[in-house]
Structure formats: structure tokens, C-alpha cells
Structure 1
């Protein structure tokens, strides 16, 4: 799962980031509202954790602009405001849920997981290629009805390829989507993960066709 945190209080943002990484999430962080909007409007996230009060562009404005741009990524709004009218304003701007500061990390992670399970207008929870099924909600993969166990990175790569079925995805696109911006990831790391995924989804399924194809010099695709 890939999460964007937009929070100007660095200690809070970094603490959330560290906690989510321990839960095996890929996390990007923005400390300024405009930076957060740029990431949210150009990158693909499963959930956005968005603070209300931000420099340069506040959370409500970001949320409103994203919804106006037909971007329906689930948004969890963080706020120090606890009045009913304020909460209603936050939800009316298009946020899916809110969490009042201060909060426990366990509650935050629970809200994020709940939002990630909600149906999204832009994405399907199940991705299918031949007899392979990947369920983004339950984090399960199967082929010909048999479960396949992938690491979190392998799952994220396969999900990304399936979401973009028919398109050629290069190594840098995979790195940008699956790993954090501050991670130092070499192209060879992608190759190793692709090889592992192929081994797991094709080794015991000789009757099924090869699903991940290499387009030499360009990248990978699932047709």
C-alpha cells in the first residue's frame, strides 16, 4: 500500500512515516500544502493523510481541488478542530474520514486500513489476468484457485502492472510507485523482484501462459 502524508509539523509527519514503514507501507511525505497537492495530483496513492492547517495551501483547499480534478483517492483529514461545524466542513470538501489531534497511532493505522478497503471510483479491488487474481483489499493473490504468497514489494509491483495492464511500465516507473522517494533503489532491484514474482506465479502453473512479459529496452507489461 502506498500512502501520502501531508503534514507541516515535521515531528508528527516523520513519526507517522516511520510507523507506516514498519507496517510495510510505501510512504511519501510533504510538509507544504502545494507540494502535497502536486504529489497527490500526479502520483497514484491508496490513501492520503492530509492535515487541515498547512502553509501555502490548506488541507480543505487541497481536498476540494483533488475532487474537482476527479481524483478520488481516499483522504483522511487530520485536524485540531473538534467542533461539529468544522468537521462537517472538512467532510463536505470531499474528505472520506477525519481524525482529531492528538491521536493514537493504532487508531490512525486502523482508519487508513479501513479507507483502503473502501470501493474507489477510479480503481477496482480485484485485478485479473487469465487465471491469476490479485485482490487489493485482502492482499491475496491466487492462480488457478491456488494461493500465492508474495512479499509486500512483490505484491505492489504485480498490482501496479495489473492496474496498467496492456501498458509498458519501465523500471523507473516501478521504483517511483513502489518505493519511497528517499529510498536509493537500483534498477537491478526491480529485476530481482520481477524474477521472484515470475517464479512464484509461473513455476507451478505450466498450463498457464507467461503473464509478465519483458519488452526489451522499454520495460514490462501484462497483456
Structure 2
């Protein structure tokens, strides 16, 4: 999941970004509507955390743009107003969820993860491949019934591989979805994370390196580099 934070209060935006990164959720910041539209046009976001009360062009205008031009992107609207009428207006614009300031960060994370699952509604909350099971909601992974302790980044990478269901996931996609726009395109982070993930999952290897293309999950009997 990758998130765009559209918020004109720098302290709040940076605090949310830092917290999401701690949860291994890549997050970029746009301080106003114009910057938000530019980033949404260029990058592939799953959810936009959108402050309704932006200076200049309003958050409502950004929401309309997302609904019209990027219907697969989910919108979580933020506002200081908690009136029912405000929430109704936001939903009528096309927002997928609504959160009133001030909010608990834990609730924000749960709502973001819930929204990120909606575009792939056909995918179950528990993903399976060979003897591997990943519970998206509980953030747990099991291999042949054995609990596998993963870092947040390893979990994010594994989820991308499992959602691809055997398809190749490029290093560029890993950077885009598991890191953020500040990641160095020449970084070895995806390769290093993949190596530690393989060790955590244990033998036989389920992850195959596809030369010049990326990585994919394959059945144990054919796994390998």
C-alpha cells in the first residue's frame, strides 16, 4: 500500500508520514491541492489521506478529481468538523471514508489498511500460496503451520508477492509500493529485504529471482534462483 498525505499543516503531515513509515506504509506529502493532483498524476497511490480544508483549491475539488480521473484510488477525508452533515457531504463527493480531527493514529492505520483492500475485493483477507499463509488483517504469516516472525518491510514485500499470485513483481514495483518517492532508485534495499525474507521463511525456497525482471513466488519443487 502507498499513501499520499494531502495536508497543509506541516507538523501534522510529517508526524503522520513518520508514523506510517514505522508501520512500513510508504507515504508521500502534498501541502496543497495543486501538488496533490500533480503527485496523483505521476505516482500510483492506493489511498489518499485528504484534508478537506486546504488553502486555495479545496479538498473537495481534489476528491472530485480523484473520483473522476483515478476511480481505483481510495479517499480518506480528514476534517476538523464532526457534524453529520459534513460527513454526508464528503461521502456524496465520492470519499470512501471519513475521519475527524483530532484522531487516534491507530484508528487511522486500521482505516487505511481497510481501504487499501477494497480495490482487490476478490482477494480474501487471508492469502495462501503453497504452504504459506498471510493474514492481512492480523499481520501474521505462517509456513506449514509455523508462525514466521517478519519485520514490517518483509511483510509488505511478501504481501506484494502473494497478491501477484505467481506473477513477477519488479524491483521498481517493490520500491513504489513498499517504500516511497524518496527511495533511491539504485538502492539495494529490495534485494537485501528479499534475502532476509527468504531466510525468515526457511527452506524450501518459495521465492524465485527472475533475471532482469524481478521476483515471484513458485511452488517449492521448482523454486530457486
Give how far 1:2 is off.
4.0
Asked if the contact 2:20–2:109 (Cα under 8 Å) also holds between the matched residues in 1, the reply is no
Gaps of 5+ in 1: none
Normalised by the length of structure 1, the TM-score is 0.80
Superposition CA RMSD, Å: 2.7
Structure 1 196/126 Cα, relative in aligned 2: closer, same or farther at 3 Å? same
1:30 aligns with 2:30: yes
TM-superposed CA distance for 1:199, in Å, is 1.6
2:215 and 2:79 mapped to 1: Cα distance? Answer: 41
Contact 1:129–1:211 at 8 Å: present in 2 too?
no
Conserved? CA contact 1:4–1:48, under 8 Å: yes
3-state SS of paired residue (1:120): helix
* 1:171–1:187 Cα contact (<8 Å) kept: no
The residue number in structure 2 matching 1:85 is: 85
1:112 to 104, 109, 112: 109
Of residues 191, 194, 211, the one that matches 2:206 is 211
Residues 57 and 202 (structure 1 numbering): CA distance in 2 closer, same or farther, change over 3 Å?
A: farther
Residue pair 1:99, 1:108 contacting (<8 A) in 2 also: no
Cross-structure match for 2:171: 171
The aligned runs of 1:13-28 (5 Å cut-off) are 13-28=13-28
2:120 to 111, 119, 122: 122
Post-superposition CA distance 1:62-104 (Å, at most 9, x none): 333434443153x321113344322210122232332333x15
How many residues are aligned here? 213
In structure 2, the gaps of 5 or more residues are: 219-225
**2:223 counterpart residue number:** none
Deviation at 1:56, TM superposition (A): 6.2
Secondary structure at the aligned position of 2:177 is classed as helix
User: Cα deviation per residue 1:174-210 (whole Å; 9 max; x = unaligned)?
Assistant: 122212322447532221211111122233xx4xxx3
Cross-structure match for 1:64: 64
- Work out whether residues 53 and 59 of structure 1, in 8 Å CA contact, stay in contact via their aligned partners in 2: yes
Q: Residue 94 and residue 109 in structure 1: after superposition, are their counterparts in 2 closer, same or farther (change >3 A)?
A: farther
TM-score (ref. length: structure 2): 0.79
**Structure 1 Cα separation of the partners of residues 39 and 128 of structure 2:** 28
